[in-house]
Structure 1
Amino acid sequence: MDVFKLLTRSAKASHTTPRQTLPSSGEASNPQLFGYTAEQEGQPNLQLGRKRKREEDSVKEAITIPKELDFFGEAFHHKNDGAQVGKNQGSRGANGNSQDGESTQDKYGAGKRMVEGLVERLSEDECKRVLRIHKLKITVLEDFHTEKEKDLIGKKSKKRKKTEEKLQGPPAKKAKSQLYPQPLTAFEQLRSRYAISKRLAENLEAQGYTVPTEVQLGGLPLLLGARDAQVGDQQNGEGNGYGKQGQDLDLLAVAPTGSGKTVTFLVPVLNALIGEIKSSTREMDGATGIGPRAIIIAPTKELAAQIANESRKLTLGTTVKTALMKKGMEVVDRSGEEMTNNHAEDERRNDTSEEDDHSVNELKATGSTRKERRKRKQAEIVKAAILVATPLALLNVLKKHSGETTPLPTVRYLILDEADVLLDPLFRDQTLSIWNACTHPSLRVSLWSATMGSNIEELAISTINNRWHSLVSSYPVPLPPRVPLIRLVVGLKDSAIPNVTHKLVYAATEQGKLLALRQLLHPTSMPSIDTTPTLRPPFLIFTQTIPRAMALHSELLYDIPPEAGGSARIAVLHAGLPSMARDSVMTRFRRGEVWVLITTDLLARGVDFRGLNGVVNYDVPNSAAAYVHRVGRTGRAGREGGVAVTLYTTEDIPYIKNVANVIRASEKLQGKAEGDAKKWLLDALPTPSKRDRQKLKQRGVEARRPGKAADAKTKARTRISTKSGWEKRMENNRRGAIAGSRMRKKVNEEGVKGGGSESEFEGFAD
């Protein structure tokens, strides 16, 4: 008996690498990023600090809230009088089982309580507690004044204003009104409380939506309506109006990446459109003619295609259709314009010469007429209720004929996904042109992103106000009352998700970054006591420019041996590729055929890769917001184990503090005292000026821009490739020949064929 083997059985740990939980392992049991554990259930004030207590005390002060948003006022209770249903009717949940007289409790204390067929509402204190636990803050952004109040404020003279300032001092900062709607603690409440479409509820259940994330917990009650629907009437689609039509408000939502924002803005719109089609309210609200009812704008084709795909899943079996904007589509019915243009063309053709007569005779000989040719050239009109598009593609269609933006009177819902990019100078003019083209008086706008600066909020408020004033002056009939603009914030604004491990690696030079990246591709298999998660494929690699992405792809093309799949396991994706090639790469990556995908910021926003294990920032992001969105491709929907590695060189040192601050904020959310962004590092890094940050955001690091290097020495230092393509190809062939020779020798000597190991991934073999 081996005594040493017996002793090692009782040792603390063996020299084996512990199994790591990866995002690709499967669905997370709880997609929520914030909350509390079972040990904290009886301690609701455990996470309250002094600042939070001061905020609660300030909330208790009397704040004027609009009547339509006062969820606990007398008007609300009056609305719910007489809404109870007889015991003999009972109620049915999302699964169709009778729940009459049943009373259960979830972890919030009142999630599924049923009283005589109605879901009992949480009290105001319970709502505050649930929203505070999940780090949700809902605020009324826009300051409402009546027209008379605005006129009185505008008529004050400058002298009077100065006198008032001297007597009263500087004006105090006005506290914004906070809202505490009923939180959505389970997706099955969508049917019982808000009376959404039965088919829509079944599609949500089929897609596996059971536990709502934070943005769904607070956003869906706001958009679907704050009041309970009558359970007795939900079978025939009727109710008190709020469950069917939703709450009249504009929303600005800031939530972490991968938190379910797409479902949050899709469900209310789909439910409203299903209800409108059933009740034939298309002509009742003044929206006549052919055209989409809802428009969703996304900055990239990949994100637009993803949103359209999710919408089609949720509308399966309903009459609501979703269309993705493509070339050759027509959004507005231009039959009247085309008739006028055709008439003018006919008059012009009547005055033609013999050359034109010859062309007409040629058309007659081929059996083709002008009418048939115009019919072939006429674009297909979008008949879908929901249109998903990028801003440039949609604007080109709206300006195709006259050069001016054609109005969209049928659009009732406008959704801006990744709104901070759409309202950035790159897309701002295009987005605002589409926004102002939506001339429906009851247009509802919602803006969604993981990062939202104060300048975007101010731009949204000013755009809403300017559009409203222009409608008031031009609309022939009185318009309905204005709706409030609400801001929903989950967690900390502009912060990375807390379930991802962040790493900052100083590589000094471009050659050092290549060495560090190859070490990630070929990690050591030696036992280590380090418990830090390591990077496992599949993962993304982000570069600053398209040429750098192509150069890095060429450099790493032969790093994966044929036994592991060879060069087919690595791919590059950027805006310079044709649409078909981009779609092919995305499909292969989602199927698992591609393990390493090199890309630019094209895939940094919105695209959902649920099984992505990590992200490598080969080049430092242009801003803190870009870093938040890049690392948000992993760790989605509450999945643990994602890794984000950022490589930086000497040229990046003036700008890396923005990334380090985001990492530090994320580590604080995780509860880490000190992680990868240590205090000495933050103190040592220089703070970039505002001008430097703006320049970096617009142009990136100057040394890495193509053709911007000062001399040949700088070009050599910032170049990714170290060998020519011919040298790398010959080296790869030589390596393959040696590996084949060894394999043949092994087969001849042992008589067995080599096979792959079933052990845990330890890097690609050399």
Structure 2
Amino acid sequence: MDAFRLLTRSTNFKKPAASAAPAAESANRLPSAGTATNPQLFRSAEADELESKHGKKRKRVAATEDDGVNAADLDFFHSTKRSVAPASGSAPSKTESNQTVEQQDDDSDEEDTMDEVECRTILNSHKIKVTDLRDLSEIQPTPAAPAASEKESKKKKKKSKKEKTPELSKKEQKRARRMYPQPLVSFKELRSRYKISGRLANNVAEQGFTMPTEVQLGALPLLLGDSTGSTSKNGPEPDLLVVAPTGSGKTLSFLIPVINKIVRHHHSNTDEHGILSVVVVPTKELASQIVNEGRKLVANTGVKITLMKKGMRVVEGEADAPGEDSGESGSEEEDEERDDDNKPKKAQKNLPVTKSDILVTTPLQLVNSLSANQTKQVASMPLVRSLVLDEADVLLDPLFREQTLDIWRSCVHPDLRVSLWSATMGSNIEELTRSIIKERLENIGQDSNSVHPLVRLVVGLKDSAVPNIDHRLVYAATEQGKLLGLRQLLHPTAASATDVRLRPPFLIFTQTIPRAVALHSELKYDIPAEAGGSSRIAVLHSDLSDNQRSDIMRDFRKGEIWILVTTDALSRGLDIKGLNGIVNYDIPNSAAIYVHRAGRTGRAGREGGIAVTYYTKEDIPYVKSIANVIDASEKLRGTDGEKSIQRWLLESLPDLSKKDKQELKKHGVKARQISKHIGGKDKDKEQEEREARRARISTKSGFERRLENRKKGAIAASRNRKAAAADDDAVSDDGSWDGIGN
């Protein structure tokens, strides 16, 4: 069946009935209209009843516990002995008050502790799946037997070899690996149950966080389970792999445990100072965003969070400043800042080691800083106890893998805990994580069967798009059709065949930097001058300097720029809460990239965001994976209305081979790659012109372009003639022989 004929045929869809709701009501659904009422994506009535039941008990206990407590005299890490001032009436003695506080703490633990059935109900209703990735023998060890002699032990070993243990089916293995940790129902539990620092708890409350999202509900108890030093229901802190939708609060989920661990370390070990935690991210914009969020949480806690910059020293004994003739071509994250360019090399070498507790960095910057004498040897960071890999699937992709693994291996502390976070994570990342953890434990001489497990936490469907936004897949046939469709989005009053309405601010994604620049030049004057004109549209890509990129992002966040044309440099981690939607002008290179692009809108449970994807005839072979992601997202949302992806479309689109998927992921759509050689032979000029016309972003006709080219050619020829005449005059004035006539 010809997919092109199916896509171009007329389809009469039933138009929804005109709603009588006022325009203001529809405007309130936009992500830019305000904050989300509920940041959770999934929930059920049964889970709400359980959470409210435990939340009321917790609220009453917290109120009696906090009455009259002096924050200056509060000991954060010795909860059994507290001095509580009387609230009113006769003042009880200190021993009586301490006993009542201890009794309240014990009662709160008894009342708030859920049994396994309640934990399972809440986790399943929020679509949270926690799995232990260790071997079954490590998860369910045999009970300890009394000491026996060597002969008896040898006999038991022989018997165990002869006796064949029954093999479990796949379903039984999955059940055995499933975990149901105590969920975090309210952020108040961070203080009452997990005993985090009071100042950190106040900072969390000041940011307005009251109801935890799904990833926070499941991940924070796992990472804070052993924060008090005692064995809790959730066990010791594990190595964690987290797959959660975009905008679900992953940054807060790993920052709170990291900061709390450092606060405890400062109280217990005052002599050790240095980098205790490292957060690695793929882009500089994401690193700056994490530092800004972290500074709000570390206020008044004594913890310092720092953004890695070129020229910064992180360990003692570095011979050369990082980045000087390193022999590597820096990527978009390693552009040098203006202040560092003006510093002499000697001044950079004599820079002191940074005094920070948390370092947020991109891979190549930290590897260059750890490399000594411009060699491949990487210095170790012995104090690092927490390593966070945000957007781990990109960091462990071949582009960044070696640099990320060098950082991982440089963390040699025996108590190092690693957490990997992303909205998309393949099974190869899990296998690589297990092998690296095992290799690191062997290198430091520690038993591979560690007490700390490797746990995977998945929220919703793995590798699926966020379900609270609308997805639109629009067939535009040609490049000119895409540009016309995009202009209809810029002018919402114009008639639109696709009935898509998208209000600024929004992002436009293209496949390459030249296409982003060309699209920006086409749209530059589409906004009228009275609305701000060309200043409302900007382009951002990795060829710009750091200062240009930071200025553009600042203006975009402030609302001075309405439309930002960009590449996949901004497809991951960027958190702009007021973003109304995104436009995939060029089809994404993979389903994972589509998930991250679409996730720039609909953050923290906000509804009303739109993800529009245009595709042409050349894109048809690559559409099915994206259509499947959209279909799965709509099923996850459970909409009863008409779906944006029709059944006939899924059946008619062709499947893509594994080799073609890899080629698409590396190079993008072939129709937009203008290469000059095929099989070692030069192309014909006609073929090059045809490819250029297909990939051109413009609505001008060929006749108009020929006139422009002729005019440009005439201007260039005139300049060449003037330059040649000027050269002749210069030679004649030089005193040399100019002929007989002179």
* Fold shared, TM-score > 0.5 on shorter chain: yes
Q: Could you tell me which residue of structure 1 aligns to residue 330 of structure 2?
A: none
Q: Could you tell me which residue of structure 2 aligns to residue 321 of structure 1?
A: 304
Contact 1:501 1:533 in 2 (8 A): no
Aligned letter for 1:401? N
Q: Could you tell me which residue of structure 1 aligns to residue 718 of structure 2?
A: none
Aligned letter for 2:311? G
Q: Note closer, same or farther for the CA distance 1:587–1:95 as it changes in structure 2 (3 Å cut).
A: farther
Q: Could you tell me which residue of structure 2 aligns to residue 217 of structure 1?
A: 217
Aligned letter for 2:352? E
Counterpart of 1:122 (choices 90, 106, 114) is: 114
Contact 2:236 2:452 in 1 (8 A): no
Q: Note closer, same or farther for the CA distance 1:125–1:597 as it changes in structure 2 (3 Å cut).
A: same
Alignment partners' CA distance in 2, 1:100 and 1:678: 67
Alignment partners' CA distance in 2, 1:308 and 1:716: 44
Alignment partners' CA distance in 2, 1:24 and 1:95: 40
Superposed, 1:313-462 pairs within 5 Å as 313-334=296-317, 377-403=349-375, 404-462=377-435
Q: Note closer, same or farther for the CA distance 1:279–1:540 as it changes in structure 2 (3 Å cut).
A: same
Superposed, 1:255-294 pairs within 5 Å as 255-280=244-269, 291-294=274-277
Counterpart of 2:243 (choices 237, 242, 254) is: 254
Q: Could you tell me which residue of structure 2 aligns to residue 5 of structure 1?
A: none
1:503 aligns with 2:472: yes
Q: Could you tell me which residue of structure 1 aligns to residue 579 of structure 2?
A: 612
Aligned letter for 1:27? T
Counterpart of 2:691 (choices 714, 731, 752) is: 714
Q: Note closer, same or farther for the CA distance 1:527–1:704 as it changes in structure 2 (3 Å cut).
A: closer
Counterpart of 1:553 (choices 484, 508, 520) is: 520
Q: Note closer, same or farther for the CA distance 1:93–1:207 as it changes in structure 2 (3 Å cut).
A: farther
Q: Could you tell me which residue of structure 2 aligns to residue 662 of structure 1?
A: 629
Aligned letter for 2:420? L
How far residue 92 of structure 1 moved from its aligned partner, in angstroms, is: 2.3
How far residue 407 of structure 1 moved from its aligned partner, in angstroms, is: 1.2
Q: Note closer, same or farther for the CA distance 1:164–1:721 as it changes in structure 2 (3 Å cut).
A: farther
Q: Could you tell me which residue of structure 2 aligns to residue 644 of structure 1?
A: 611
Q: Could you tell me which residue of structure 1 aligns to residue 10 of structure 2?
A: none
- Report which stretch shifted further, 611-620 or 709-718: 709-718
Alignment partners' CA distance in 2, 1:654 and 1:172: 35
How far residue 495 of structure 1 moved from its aligned partner, in angstroms, is: 0.4
How far residue 721 of structure 1 moved from its aligned partner, in angstroms, is: 2.9
Counterpart of 1:487 (choices 441, 445, 456) is: 456
Alignment partners' CA distance in 2, 1:94 and 1:435: 46
CA displacement, residues 634-672 of structure 1 (integer Å, 9 cap, x when unaligned): 000000100000000011000000100000001101113
How far residue 467 of structure 1 moved from its aligned partner, in angstroms, is: 1.3
How far residue 294 of structure 1 moved from its aligned partner, in angstroms, is: 0.4
- Report which stretch shifted further, 561-570 or 115-124: 115-124
Alignment partners' CA distance in 1, 2:265 and 2:34: 38
Q: Could you tell me which residue of structure 1 aligns to residue 75 of structure 2?
A: none
Q: Note closer, same or farther for the CA distance 1:122–1:717 as it changes in structure 2 (3 Å cut).
A: same
SS of aligned partner of 1:414? strand
Contact 1:93 1:191 in 2 (8 A): no
Q: Could you tell me which residue of structure 1 aligns to residue 720 of structure 2?
A: none
How far residue 711 of structure 1 moved from its aligned partner, in angstroms, is: 2.3
How far residue 89 of structure 1 moved from its aligned partner, in angstroms, is: 12
Q: Note closer, same or farther for the CA distance 1:168–1:14 as it changes in structure 2 (3 Å cut).
A: closer
The TM-score, its normalising length taken from structure 2, stands at 0.74
Q: Note closer, same or farther for the CA distance 1:273–1:94 as it changes in structure 2 (3 Å cut).
A: farther
Aligned letter for 1:466? E
Alignment partners' CA distance in 2, 1:452 and 1:527: 37
Superposed, 1:520-539 pairs within 5 Å as 520-524=489-493, 534-539=501-506
CA displacement, residues 665-688 of structure 1 (integer Å, 9 cap, x when unaligned): 011011135511111000010011
Alignment partners' CA distance in 2, 1:522 and 1:329: 47
Alignment partners' CA distance in 1, 2:310 and 2:510: 29
1:603 aligns with 2:570: yes
How far residue 124 of structure 1 moved from its aligned partner, in angstroms, is: 1.4
CA displacement, residues 674-704 of structure 1 (integer Å, 9 cap, x when unaligned): 5111110000100111111111011100111
SS of aligned partner of 1:330? coil
Q: Note closer, same or farther for the CA distance 1:450–1:251 as it changes in structure 2 (3 Å cut).
A: same
Aligned letter for 1:32? Q
SS of aligned partner of 2:444? helix
Contact 1:298 1:417 in 2 (8 A): yes
SS of aligned partner of 2:177? coil
Aligned letter for 1:719? R
5+ residue gaps, structure 2: 1-17, 52-60, 72-83, 88-103, 142-161, 321-343, 677-682, 709-742
Q: Note closer, same or farther for the CA distance 1:142–1:130 as it changes in structure 2 (3 Å cut).
A: same
Alignment partners' CA distance in 2, 1:619 and 1:264: 33
Q: Could you tell me which residue of structure 2 aligns to residue 582 of structure 1?
A: 549
5+ residue gaps, structure 1: 1-10, 45-86, 102-112, 150-162, 230-238, 284-289, 339-371, 732-766
Q: Could you tell me which residue of structure 2 aligns to residue 747 of structure 1?
A: none
1:131 aligns with 2:123: yes
Contact 1:16 1:527 in 2 (8 A): no
CA displacement, residues 146-179 of structure 1 (integer Å, 9 cap, x when unaligned): 7xx9xxxxxxxxxxxxx999x9899867335111
How far residue 12 of structure 1 moved from its aligned partner, in angstroms, is: 8.5
Aligned letter for 1:563? E
Alignment partners' CA distance in 2, 1:456 and 1:512: 39
Q: Note closer, same or farther for the CA distance 1:209–1:12 as it changes in structure 2 (3 Å cut).
A: closer
Superposed, 1:704-743 pairs within 5 Å as 704-707=672-675, 710-723=687-700
SS of aligned partner of 1:593? coil
Contact 2:441 2:448 in 1 (8 A): no
How far residue 180 of structure 1 moved from its aligned partner, in angstroms, is: 1.0
Aligned letter for 1:137? K
How far residue 334 of structure 1 moved from its aligned partner, in angstroms, is: 1.1
- Report which stretch shifted further, 651-660 or 326-335: 326-335
- Report which stretch shifted further, 642-651 or 480-489: 480-489
Counterpart of 1:92 (choices 66, 77, 96) is: 66
Alignment partners' CA distance in 2, 1:377 and 1:169: 61
How far residue 442 of structure 1 moved from its aligned partner, in angstroms, is: 1.1
Q: Note closer, same or farther for the CA distance 1:609–1:402 as it changes in structure 2 (3 Å cut).
A: same
How far residue 428 of structure 1 moved from its aligned partner, in angstroms, is: 0.7
Superposed, 1:623-642 pairs within 5 Å as 623-642=590-609
Q: Could you tell me which residue of structure 2 aligns to residue 344 of structure 1?
A: none
SS of aligned partner of 1:129? helix
SS of aligned partner of 1:381? coil
Q: Note closer, same or farther for the CA distance 1:42–1:327 as it changes in structure 2 (3 Å cut).
A: closer
Q: Note closer, same or farther for the CA distance 1:41–1:181 as it changes in structure 2 (3 Å cut).
A: closer
How far residue 714 of structure 1 moved from its aligned partner, in angstroms, is: 2.1
Q: Note closer, same or farther for the CA distance 1:93–1:548 as it changes in structure 2 (3 Å cut).
A: farther
Contact 2:307 2:361 in 1 (8 A): yes
Aligned letter for 1:412? R
Q: Note closer, same or farther for the CA distance 1:278–1:699 as it changes in structure 2 (3 Å cut).
A: same
Q: Note closer, same or farther for the CA distance 1:377–1:545 as it changes in structure 2 (3 Å cut).
A: same
Number of residues of Structure 1 aligned to a counterpart in Structure 2: 596
Contact 1:251 1:447 in 2 (8 A): yes
How far residue 248 of structure 1 moved from its aligned partner, in angstroms, is: 2.6
Q: Could you tell me which residue of structure 1 aligns to residue 133 of structure 2?
A: 141
Aligned letter for 1:456? I
Alignment partners' CA distance in 2, 1:386 and 1:394: 13
SS of aligned partner of 2:409? helix
Q: Could you tell me which residue of structure 2 aligns to residue 28 of structure 1?
A: 36
